Chains A and B, each alone.
Chain A
Amino acid sequence: MILAKISKGNIPEFLKRLMASYEVVAPVEKEGKFAFSPVSDPAKVRLDYDTTILPPKQFLYPPEEKLMEFKRDGSAGKETIDTTKRVLFGLHPCDIWGIQILDWVFDGKFPDPYYRARKDNTLIVGLNCTSPRNEYCFCQSMGTYTVDKGYDIMLMEEGDNYMVHIKTDAGNQVIRKSSDLFTEVSAEDTNILSKDLVDKKMKAKFKRKLDTRNISELLDFTYGSPVWKEFGDRCLSCGACSYVCPDCYCFNVKDKLDLSLQNGERARTWDCCLYIDFARCAGGHNFRKDKATRLKMRFFHKEKSFVDDYGRPACVGCGRCIKACPAKIDLTEIFAKLRGV
């Protein structure tokens, strides 16, 4: 393990240097909350943020993304791939996990070149958590409180400094370029760090919990549970939970034309399985007509499908969906009720 140390006071300068060769995306304040946003002023970066409105997925998989340009003259389309060099700065472990799960989906049997190109051009700088950031966090339940891969650099807060875990060569290169801002780590530093991990991190109490044991089986056996209707009736089908989820990735593909009708583009936009038209076919048949079925489907996909395919749910316990739901639907409550507790 390669460690270094940077004083908090040197972070703005580090950010500034990163900006010279990257688009730097970091948490900034927005109406009393926080949002990941491209920044040009290091002073605006708020590493004391609790969570962000949208997860960082929007920089790897934007809400609307052009897939290709075309002419309607019989010629082949032209792919449009974004290769902007980008740093995602200050991601909490849950969001880093979120990106790793997106990797599984977008790579897979048919690798998605749009996502892959963005990901390959993105450097991820994490920011460790040692306690719940707000009342919505339940990452401890989801095994995403800590993360041991999926980042290039990890910052770990330690008094006036950040201990820096340099995970990858790409991370090492940017640190080497700013080596004057970093110092070596002493034996005492590592001591403090490991002690801190035990004292703070492991003893932190998370109030919000989700019991993930046999979750796939649980969903199978509660398929007909009235709990789904209870929550389904409340669901506004607004899509908030999906859009704020680090691991919701449904999309819709749409063609657009210019007024000459000769040129156009094909784009994909975020979609959400709670919308009434999500499984409605061109002929009009809707495979999921009612809200309860759609809500159930969302959790089947995230918590069962992913356990079957990848061994873990597509939920990182960031709590954004609980916070964002106008109808106050709380998945930890749904799962507790399904278990009858």
Chain B
Amino acid sequence: MAKPKVGIYGFTGCAGCQLEILNLEDILLDIVGAIDIVNFRMAKSQNDDVTQLDVAVIEGSIVTKEQEEEIKKIRDKTKIMIAVGDCACFGGVQKLTQFQNLEEAKKLVYGDVQMKHAIASPLHSRAIDEVVKVDAKLPCCPMVKEEFVEALKCLLAGKKIDIKPHAVCEECRKNGNVCFFEKGHVCMGTVTLAGCGSLCPSNGYPCEGCRGPVEEANIPEQVQRMRENGLSDEDINRKFRKFTSGAKEFANALEIAKNAQATNAPQEAKK
């Protein structure tokens, strides 16, 4: 069987996810042995833009017209497209501009610097699947390299990529950590998709929600817990939106909580 042809591309992001691939030092040679990387600008000097791809790995979000054209071209020649990292999966931190005026945001970041090229007229950041079809998403900031390898193996073996719809708490509890809520802190692990191995909580930091919402995340309960821990509405929005404001559950957490309360209120009154 011919080795599957893989292209690894970076759009708007910090390149940290691509770096994670290179950080797979111990097994990088095995990976290169199993797949044919035809395009990986970050790591290769000779890249092939013509060959049809079995798999395209996409990092970064789409913020310009030019990028939109480019990702469409990649999609056209690709069988399976995987978005890796929060920028590609959700639009990234840069998606926060959606809540304000883009010109003001630009000014806030770059001041009066005159910019050339496409970046002179950026658009709001978009996740890859807002532009083209994506077959699998591996969120996290940066992507989890072990999960990437597992996904690769699944594709090679003809298996579906299996990311369990469980909260970070699953891994955190299995690791025997003390719950941050028990310690009187707010943690986003309860509403965030597992798969990171509860990296932050296991190292003494509460989860920041960087893997985005878990399926059917209980947003109202989480908002309630955050309020009980003294967070203001502004704080709550910040916590939810930080990494994955591209996910509607996290972008609209307060509204979701409010609506749930409104639905439950008549029942409460009856009691």
A-B contact pairs, 19 of them (CB 8 A): A53-B176, A233-B260, A236-B191, A236-B222, A237-B167, A237-B214, A238-B169, A238-B189, A243-B174, A244-B173, A256-B150, A259-B149, A259-B156, A261-B156, A261-B157, A277-B164, A324-B179, A327-B221, A327-B225
B166 within 8 A of A: yes
B18 within 8 A of A: no
Give the docked Cα–Cα distance between A239 and B178 (Å).
Answer: 14
List chain A residues, Cβ under 8 A from B234.
Answer: none
Give the docked Cα–Cα distance between A324 and B174 (Å).
Answer: 13
B153 within 8 A of A: yes
Please state if A54 and B176 are interface contacts (CB–CB under 8 Å): yes
Give the docked Cα–Cα distance between A256 and B170 (Å).
Answer: 19
Q: Which of B149, B169, B183, B218 contacts A239 (CB 8 A)?
A: B169
- Nearest-CB residue, chain B, relative to A323: B182
B244 within 8 A of A: no
Please state if A261 and B173 are interface contacts (CB–CB under 8 Å): no
List chain B residues, Cβ under 8 A from A64.
Answer: 174
Q: Which of B179, B218, B225 contacts A240 (CB 8 A)?
A: B179
Known: A53-B177, A261-B157. A272 touches B170 (CB 8 A): yes
Q: Mark B171-187, 1 if CB is under 8 A from A, else 0.
A: 00110111101110001
List chain A residues, Cβ under 8 A from B221.
Answer: 233-236, 327
List chain B residues, Cβ under 8 A from A63.
Answer: 174
List chain A residues, Cβ under 8 A from B215.
Answer: 276-277
Interface residues of B in 210-264 (CB under 8 A from A): 214-216, 218, 220-222, 225, 260, 264
Q: How far is the CB of B182 from chain A (nearest CB, A)?
A: 7
Q: How far is the CB of A198 from chain B (nearest CB, A)?
A: 36
- Nearest-CB residue, chain B, relative to A254: B162
Please state if A259 and B30 are interface contacts (CB–CB under 8 Å): yes
B111 within 8 A of A: no
Give the docked Cα–Cα distance between A246 and B218 (Å).
Answer: 26
Please state if A31 and B225 are interface contacts (CB–CB under 8 Å): no
Give the docked Cα–Cα distance between A239 and B177 (Å).
Answer: 14
Q: A235-B221, A244-B173, A257-B153 are in contact. List 13 more A-B contacts (CB 8 A).
A: A54-B173, A233-B260, A238-B169, A238-B173, A254-B162, A259-B27, A259-B30, A259-B149, A260-B34, A261-B34, A275-B170, A324-B173, A326-B179
Q: Mark B187-221, 1 if CB is under 8 A from A, else 0.
A: 10111000000000000000000000011101011
How many A residues are at the interface, by size bracket? 35 or more
Give the docked Cα–Cα distance between A243 and B175 (Å).
Answer: 10
Please state if B173 and A236 are interface contacts (CB–CB under 8 Å): no
List chain B residues, Cβ under 8 A from A261.
Answer: 34, 153, 156-157
Interface residues of A in 195-216 (CB under 8 A from B): none
B105 within 8 A of A: no
B33 within 8 A of A: yes
Give the docked Cα–Cα distance between A295 and B152 (Å).
Answer: 35
Q: Which 9 A-B pairs have the closest CB atoms?
A: A238-B169, A243-B173, A63-B174, A259-B30, A326-B181, A236-B190, A238-B167, A31-B178, A236-B218
List chain B residues, Cβ under 8 A from A244.
Answer: 173
Please state if A32 and B170 are interface contacts (CB–CB under 8 Å): no
A22 within 8 A of B: no
B8 within 8 A of A: no
List chain A residues, Cβ under 8 A from B152.
Answer: 259
